[in-house]
A and B are shown apart, each in its own frame.
Chain A
């Protein structure tokens, strides 16, 4: 696996994330098989597929919330191993937003955003607060800075979670079904935040069934089934001329339900 070693020069087409022949098992169940994926700096990827197809597992491997057993993953040139040093190096580069927000319920919104920069990056309180306020303003929720997560709506909580991840100044953002747990009327505010982030040039991998979002911002849409990547294409081609029967069936189901 030496073919990726030279791909890390500082060009515009620089590969931010490279997954090569990644395999993952839960016991005897193979969750990911033969995953090859390369994401350039600034690229926006939408991952979709039926539940249990391994799309969440795939992005959770990128920041080592799940270990993988074979192949290799590189993030910004760091080969992700099982040791704390490379895991930490990768996690500093990669922000993540979860389906259920996972805000810290015992801290104010502001403290939620300040904790990791202070503890993991060693940034001082004043600077961490300034950064947090700046990013909370960018996700348009600065007026809630002193409230606790339980006092906010789902959409507001998810925007705080996005700001919290951005406070670490990541170069990649992973979104794991960020709107699936939201009431319909709150989906838009979160998607708008993600679109704004995309327009600023953030590298993003989004697991989502929001096909409108995929059409609007994705450079590539990837369809997964049974732990493998079945098809990937730019959105205009993906939605109009899907090559595989499984993709067509999935698109038929998901577009009918929307």
Chain B
């Protein structure tokens, strides 16, 4: 593998990072909305978001990408590959983060909400000042765990022709006929992205456990 081919892999890596970042940022926004609706106490909202989460947790990510990429095109909605893939991953991340944060919000002791209510704090302040800061702390390890899954999951975007790291590896491998070498390098690149995050997640988990003692 020469330098040009390695640089081609790095350009794929760049798109993997970009796609992960977009999916995570928009997924955080969507996930927060879903978690809040899921815990709102308003039955139609809770049912609708429960259904959404069940749908996206119960079907393969690959299928979700196909539906967004090809399905919307069949409906006459022609999105470019970037938009389609970003949309697919955002919907996916929203469901998973929504469920993680739903659990974290419900793990904050009921007394916290009761004390806020008794102090006549309204919903927005109860959530923003009291519940969410504690819920986010509780959810940090799981959230980072999901981010790692998401980064690796972006390799599925290669199936719909999006040239991220996995597809770049595939293309180089087809050119130089050294699949073991090429995919070894690709694997190392994924590992270098994900491992520090995993370490950070484990570190946070330990710190959280220590703080609760």
Binding site for B on A (CB under 8 A): 63, 65, 88, 91-92, 94-96, 98, 100, 102-106, 115-116, 119-120, 150, 161, 164-165, 168
Which candidate, B40-48, B97-105, B120-128, B160-168, is the interface stretch facing chain A? Answer: B120-128
Does residue B137 face the partner (Cβ distance < 8 Å to A)? yes
A100-B111, A104-B112 known; A63 vs B118 contact (CB < 8 Å): yes
Q: Which residues of A contact B211 (CB under 8 A)?
A: 150
Query: Within residues 84 to 135 of chain B, which ones have a CB less than 8 A from any CB in chain A?
Result: 109, 111-112, 114-122, 125, 129-130, 133-134
User: Can you sample 18 A-B contacts with CB below 8 Å?
Assistant: A63-B118, A65-B114, A65-B118, A96-B115, A96-B118, A98-B114, A98-B115, A100-B111, A106-B133, A106-B134, A115-B119, A116-B119, A120-B119, A120-B125, A161-B115, A165-B118, A165-B119, A168-B120
Q: Which residues of A contact B134 (CB under 8 A)?
A: 105-106
Contact A88 B112 (CB under 8 A): no
Nearest chain B CB to A174 CB, angstrom units: 8
Contact B111 A164 (CB under 8 A): no
A106-B133, A106-B134, A106-B137 known; A115 vs B121 contact (CB < 8 Å): yes
Q: Which residues of A contact B129 (CB under 8 A)?
A: 104, 115, 119
- A188 to B43 alpha-carbon distance, docked (Å): 46
Nearest CB in chain B to that of A89: its residue = B120
Q: Which residues of A contact B112 (CB under 8 A)?
A: 102, 104
Q: Among the listed B119, B120, B125, B133, which residue makes an inter-chain contact with A164, where contact means beta carbons less than 8 Å apart?
A: B119
- A120 to B118 alpha-carbon distance, docked (Å): 11
Nearest chain A CB to B128 CB, angstrom units: 9
Extra 17 A-B pairs, beta carbons < 8 Å, given A102-B109, A120-B120? A65-B114, A91-B119, A91-B120, A92-B120, A98-B111, A98-B114, A102-B111, A102-B114, A104-B130, A105-B134, A106-B134, A106-B137, A115-B121, A115-B130, A116-B116, A116-B119, A119-B129
- A119 to B117 alpha-carbon distance, docked (Å): 12
- A98 to B125 alpha-carbon distance, docked (Å): 20
Q: Which residues of B contact A115 (CB under 8 A)?
A: 119, 121, 125, 129-130
A102-B111, A104-B130, A119-B129 known; A168 vs B119 contact (CB < 8 Å): yes
Query: Within residues 199 to 213 of chain B, which ones have a CB less than 8 A from any CB in chain A?
Result: 211
A119-B125, A119-B129, A120-B125 known; A104 vs B115 contact (CB < 8 Å): yes
- A79 to B4 alpha-carbon distance, docked (Å): 78
Contact B120 A88 (CB under 8 A): yes
Q: Which residues of B contact A104 (CB under 8 A)?
A: 112, 115, 129-130
Contact A116 B111 (CB under 8 A): no
Nearest chain A CB to B122 CB, angstrom units: 7
Q: Which residues of B contact A106 (CB under 8 A)?
A: 133-134, 137
- A109 to B118 alpha-carbon distance, docked (Å): 18
Nearest CB in chain A to that of B134: its residue = A106
- A88 to B121 alpha-carbon distance, docked (Å): 9
- A100 to B134 alpha-carbon distance, docked (Å): 17
Q: Which residues of A contact B120 (CB under 8 A)?
A: 88, 91-92, 116, 120, 168
Nearest chain A CB to B40 CB, angstrom units: 15
Q: Which residues of B contact A161 (CB under 8 A)?
A: 115
Nearest chain B CB to A192 CB, angstrom units: 23
